[in-house]
Amino acid sequence: MAQSTVSYLWRDRKAADGYRAGVSLHSHTNQSKETLDFLANFGNQYPIMRPIISGMERRSKDNHSVAVNYASSYWTPPMTPKLAFDLESKQIEDLNVASMVSISDHDNIKAPMLLRTVPSARQIPVSVEWSAPYGGEQDFHLGIHNLPSARASEWMATLEEYTKNPSDERLGEILAALNDEPNVLVIFNHPLWDLFLIGREKHKFLVNEFLLKYGNFMHALELNGLRNWEENRDVRRLAEKWNMLLISGGDRHGVEANANINLTNATSFTEFVHEIRKEKRSDVLFMPQYANPWKHRILQSTLDAVRHYPDFPVGSQRWDERVYHPDAKGNVRPLCELWPDGNAPPVMRYGIALVLLMGTAPVSKSLRFAWSESRQLRLALGEQEG
């Protein structure tokens, strides 16, 4: 029988007492390629933005002979693997427990492989967030943690091959093989996020269909640190329906540490995997930042993505060093190399300045008050009020 507990540090400052370690799962570094498809969807979803986006697309084509290609473009989070590892480790160690960090960038294992050359991070598991096509209209994101080091590259080739040529039969074979790896943890990340905007009910139907087919190979459903209260409550109900464990996953892309972690008495990540898979026990702790209004947190994450970080390594300092797009010959390059004079067009500079203005103290404070979710905090993830 699956046993999941959920606690909140702002309610109980001693929630970590009695545990040996905390585990940070699902965070991203500058090795993660994040899609820009959402910009096209943003224009479709909010008609008022469509003329602005269309104008930018037209100017790019007319002035620079480069057609905007959302599918081939991407952005990368600002933090290097070492900065991200240190950030997550410190938050956990501030609770007076040992730290374990599993970084899972999109569809590559570069960050953990790089970190394994650093003495303080040598024990980091080899993990990835795999975008697995399903249902013909979307991908499901699966957190695959603690791949066997000697065969990690081989596993990545297998996942990449499926992504190019998806089929239900092959997906079942791959998930069964991952399940046969005794030290690998497979998590269904943010299962109820309709990332591809196919419609909430259709998405939920596909999730349940997926779990019916492959749920035996999933070791837990993720309570996502960047998704809202309502969605995470629905994930909790989904876990109850399928008798599955709940597990943390911060999904950090910016410079704020994960908004939730797992607490454990394991002394290694492999022991933690066994705690989840064999003992079927998971203790999730939400950190104080999750108590902030969700819209405000999304704004902060957006600000993190566009801010200038002069102390970071070159290539991670400016937002246009972290956004990539094909040039006129189809070669993917940072935007800063595509600007005719090395500077973003005025309309983009003004747009970024407007976003940054929302992060200034007076505006940010007002927005946070307007977006208050005090009732959501009382209800938490399904408990009764009072």
Chunked mean pLDDT (size 10), the chain, 386 residues: 92 96 97 76 55 63 65 88 98 98 97 96 97 92 97 98 96 98 98 92 97 98 96 97 97 95 98 97 97 85 87 90 87 84 61 58 52 55 47
264 with 19: CB under 8 angstroms? yes
Exposure string (b/e) for 54-69, b if CB count within 10 Å is 16 or more?
eebbeebeeeeebebe
For residues 73 and 323, is the Cβ–Cβ distance under 8 A? Answer: yes
User: Alpha helices of the chain — where are they, by DSSP H?
Assistant: 37-45, 50-64, 81-93, 110-115, 152-164, 168-180, 200-214, 229-242, 269-277, 294-306, 335-338, 346-357, 361-370, 374-379
- Answer whether residue 122 is part of any domain: yes
**Looking at residue 294, what is its pLDDT?**
85
Establish if 113 belongs to a structural domain: yes
Residue-range definition of the domain harbouring residue 124: 3-33+76-291
In a domain, 364, yes or no: no
pLDDT at residue 162 in the model:
97
CATH of the domain at 24: 3.20.20.140
pTM for the model stands at 0.87
In the beta sheet, which residues pair with residue 200?
Answer: none
CA pseudo-torsion sign 228, 75, 126, 148? positive
382 lies in some domain: no
| Domain annotation covers residue 194 | yes
Q: How many domains does the chain have?
A: 1
Q: Nearest-CA neighbor of 178 among 229, 214, 207, 213?
A: 214
Q: What is the pLDDT of residue 386?
A: 31
Residues 6+ apart with CB under 8 A from 119: none
Evaluate whether residue 385 is within a structural domain: no
In this structure, is residue 186 part of a structural domain? yes
Q: Residue 350: its pLDDT value, please?
A: 54
Q: What is the pLDDT of residue 343?
A: 67
Task: Please check whether residue 86 lies inside any domain of the structure.
Answer: yes
